[in-house]
């Protein structure tokens, strides 16, 4: 695993702008909020031969509970190369205010060489041979299915419903997507990926605190390496990035709750039929009642990026699915607003219709047996494949839900995203039929 912090330099157009470190920026802005001086006067008051002193005078207040100062550092970018897909997912889950990206299974064909090693993941020696064998077989199946589906896409492009007026380069990418999107369910969750994250030092410190609390070798290695990089930008905030009793307790609870569910229910290997749940709450207080008619909330809306009215943005929405495959969870987990939650316990296994009826021998029995054994050591996540289904909930507001529906059913969206978000859209319009003219539900075709 390699971790690199990326420093941002000003563009040439900002050559004359004041230049500050992340912590000096936070210190100046903190002082700015407690003074009627302009920012120029505050900067003029800094002893640039000892700018650390200006930082120290402000940052001591973080220890007194003024954590917001740590959020004034601006976005600090850190890239994590060659971590497992599980770890990349977990950092996004913890840092719900993060901006970031992860390597895509649509653009990168995975191979056995992409797998993390058993040693890196802390797999017990007694299970290493079995783990390696199951992981290797999963990659073999993935590669075989990809080749079969890719040939089908090349030989029968009309079945993919790709518009003929698109450039050939775009059509070729869509044909590749068809195969990659359907074969990917056999990719192990322990496969190496790369992910980039941008957060303020405050969010980084909390993320590291929770990451370090996970009783997993990979998580602790990542926390140590990220902390070393973060120290280059915000050394004073590092003291706030170490785990404490609360984060340790909560991390252990979630991990052992999912392991306990495996002990009680096993590792299901068949698809769990889709269910969706949606709660919409617009019960506003009488002194802050609705402000506009429904059509006024969508006045001027041209696409999913358009702003909606305050009533829509104030309306609470909690939606959940009983069976999100990890392949989809990797992306749905990155929708930033609100809180996302899953116990990350297996409830089924998803396979696309095109490959559902193939003979996989005893592979799924071996996968389930291995994952159950790993659960005894709290390492079951490293037995999962991207087809492993888990329950997943997102709590946010109605405007964000509408955005997600329009994004994940729009042109080029993965077909399984579209199925999940169409189900939410159907339930939303059943509960709130007055929204139907204003929610643009796409067909996700072509992929």
Place of tokens 């169409």: 422
Domain of residue 429: give its range: 258-438
What's the CA gap between 317 and 431, in Å, rounded? 12
Place of tokens 């029968």: 156
Q: What is the pLDDT of residue 44?
A: 80
Greater confidence, 107 or 364?
364
Q: What is the pLDDT of residue 159?
A: 76
Same domain membership, residue 239 and residue 276: no
What confidence tier does 1 reach under pLDDT thresholds 50, 70, 90?
Answer: very high
In a domain, 125, yes or no: yes
Phi, psi of 219 (to 5 degrees): -65, -40
Q: How many angstroms separate the first and last alpha carbons of the chain?
A: 32
In a domain, 169, yes or no: yes
Same domain membership, residue 70 and residue 197: yes
When mean pLDDT is compared over 13-17, 148-152, 407-411, 418-422, the highest value belongs to 418-422
Total of domains in the chain: 3
Same domain membership, residue 375 and residue 285: yes
pLDDT digits (tens, 9 = 90+) for 36-91: 778 887 788 777 777 777 677 666 655 544 567 677 778 999 999 999 999 999 99
Residues 6+ apart with CB under 8 A from 311: 282, 284, 290, 291, 292, 297
Same domain membership, residue 410 and residue 329: yes
**Cβ pair 420, 328 in contact under 8 A:** yes
Same domain membership, residue 394 and residue 262: yes
Same domain membership, residue 140 and residue 72: no
What's the CA gap between 143 and 179, in Å, rounded? 10
The residue among 210, 243, 276 that closes a domain is 243
What confidence tier does 97 reach under pLDDT thresholds 50, 70, 90?
Answer: confident
In a domain, 447, yes or no: no
The residue among 155, 186, 217 that closes a domain is 186
Place of tokens 């157009």: 13
What's the CA gap between 442 and 447, in Å, rounded? 12
Phi, psi of 318 (to 5 degrees): -125, 120
- Crossing angle between the packed helical segments 245-265 and 363-375, to the nearest 10 degrees: 140
What confidence tier does 428 reach under pLDDT thresholds 50, 70, 90?
Answer: very high
In a domain, 89, yes or no: no
**Cβ pair 292, 319 in contact under 8 A:** no
Same domain membership, residue 328 and residue 369: yes
In a domain, 26, yes or no: yes
Q: What is the pLDDT of residue 234?
A: 86
What confidence tier does 155 reach under pLDDT thresholds 50, 70, 90?
Answer: confident
What's the CA gap between 397 and 317, in Å, rounded? 5
Greater confidence, 172 or 278?
278
Same domain membership, residue 319 and residue 400: yes
Q: What is the pLDDT of residue 67?
A: 64
Q: What is the pLDDT of residue 231?
A: 92
Phi, psi of 403 (to 5 degrees): -60, -45
Same domain membership, residue 323 and residue 374: yes
In a domain, 88, yes or no: no
CATH of the domain at 233: 3.30.1360
Measured in whole angstroms, the distance separating CA 198 from the mean position of its chain's CA atoms is 13
Greater confidence, 362 or 338?
362
Q: Where is average pLDDT lowest: 148-157, 214-223, 434-443?
A: 148-157
Report the percent of the chain where pLDDT is more than 90.
Answer: 64
**Cβ pair 196, 78 in contact under 8 A:** yes
Strands 388-397 and 76-84: unpaired
Phi, psi of 84 (to 5 degrees): -75, 155
pLDDT digits (tens, 9 = 90+) for 208-266: 999 999 999 999 999 999 999 999 988 888 888 999 999 999 999 988 999 999 999 99
pLDDT digits (tens, 9 = 90+) for 32-47: 777 777 888 778 877 7
Same domain membership, residue 177 and residue 115: yes
In a domain, 443, yes or no: no
Q: What is the pLDDT of residue 446?
A: 64
What's the CA gap between 187 and 355, in Å, rounded? 15
Find, among 157, 178, 186, 192, the residue nearest to 416 by Cα: 178
Same domain membership, residue 264 and residue 354: yes
- Residue 338 vs residues 21, 95, 310, 333, 353: alpha-carbon distances, Å: 30, 11, 17, 11, 33
pLDDT digits (tens, 9 = 90+) for 296-319: 999 999 999 899 999 999 999 999
Report the percent of the chain where pLDDT is more than 70.
Answer: 96
CATH of the domain at 424: 3.30.1360.170
pTM: 0.90
In a domain, 163, yes or no: yes
Q: Is the pLDDT of residue 183 over 80?
A: yes
Q: What is the pLDDT of residue 171?
A: 78
Same domain membership, residue 351 and residue 263: yes
What is the per-residue DSSP string for 86-125? Answer: HHHHHHHHH-TT-EEEE--TTT----GGGBPPHHHHT--H
Mean pLDDT of the chain: 90
């Amino acid at each position: 695993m390699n971790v690199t912090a990326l420093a941002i330099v000003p563009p040439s157009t900002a050559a004359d702008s004041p230049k500050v470190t992340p912590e000096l920026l936070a210190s100046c802005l903190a002082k700015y909020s407690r003074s009627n001086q302009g920012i120029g006067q505050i900067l003029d008051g800094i002893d640039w031969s000892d700018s650390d002193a200006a930082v120290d005078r402000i940052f001591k207040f973080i220890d007194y509970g003024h954590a917001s100062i740590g959020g004034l550092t601006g976005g600090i970018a850190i890239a994590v190369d060659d971590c497992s897909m599980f770890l990349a997912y977990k950092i996004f889950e913890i840092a719900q205010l993060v901006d970031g990206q992860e390597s895509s299974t649509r653009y990168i064909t995975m191979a056995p060489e992409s797998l993390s090693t058993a040693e890196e993941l802390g797999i017990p020696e007694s299970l290493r041979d079995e783990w390696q064998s199951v992981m290797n077989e999963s990659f073999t199946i993935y590669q075989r299915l990809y080749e079969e589906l890719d040939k089908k896409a090349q030989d029968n492009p009309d079945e993919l419903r790709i518009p003929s007026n698109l450039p050939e380069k775009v059509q070729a990418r869509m044909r590749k997507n068809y195969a990659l999107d359907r074969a990917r369910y056999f990719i192990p969750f322990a496969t190496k990926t790369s992910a980039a994250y941008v957060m303020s030092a405050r969010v980084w410190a909390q993320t590291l605190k929770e990451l370090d609390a996970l009783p997993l070798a990979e998580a602790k290695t990542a926390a140590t390496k990220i902390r070393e990089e973060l120290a280059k930008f915000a050394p004073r905030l590092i003291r706030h990035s170490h785990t404490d009793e609360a984060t340790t307790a909560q991390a252990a609870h979630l991990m052992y709750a999912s392991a306990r569910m495996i002990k009680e229910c096993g590792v299901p290997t068949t698809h769990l039929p889709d269910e969706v749940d949606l709660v919409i709450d617009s019960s506003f207080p009488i002194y802050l009642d609705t402000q506009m008619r429904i059509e006024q909330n969508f006045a001027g809306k041209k696409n999913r990026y358009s702003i909606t009215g305050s009533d829509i943005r104030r309306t609470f929405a909690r939606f959940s699915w009983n069976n999100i495959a990890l392949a989809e969870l990797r992306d749905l987990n990155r929708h930033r607003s609100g809180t996302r939650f899953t116990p990350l316990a297996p409830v089924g296994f998803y396979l696309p219709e095109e490959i559902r009826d193939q003979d996989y021998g005893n592979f799924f029995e071996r996968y389930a047996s291995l994952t159950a054994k790993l659960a005894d050591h709290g390492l079951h996540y490293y037995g999962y494949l991207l087809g492993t289904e888990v329950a997943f909930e997102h709590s946010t507001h109605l405007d964000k839900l509408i955005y997600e529906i329009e994004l994940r059913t729009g042109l080029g969206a993965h077909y399984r995203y579209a199925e999940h978000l169409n189900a939410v859209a159907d339930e939303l319009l059943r509960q709130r039929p007055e929204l139907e003219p204003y929610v643009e539900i796409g067909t996700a075709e072509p992929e």
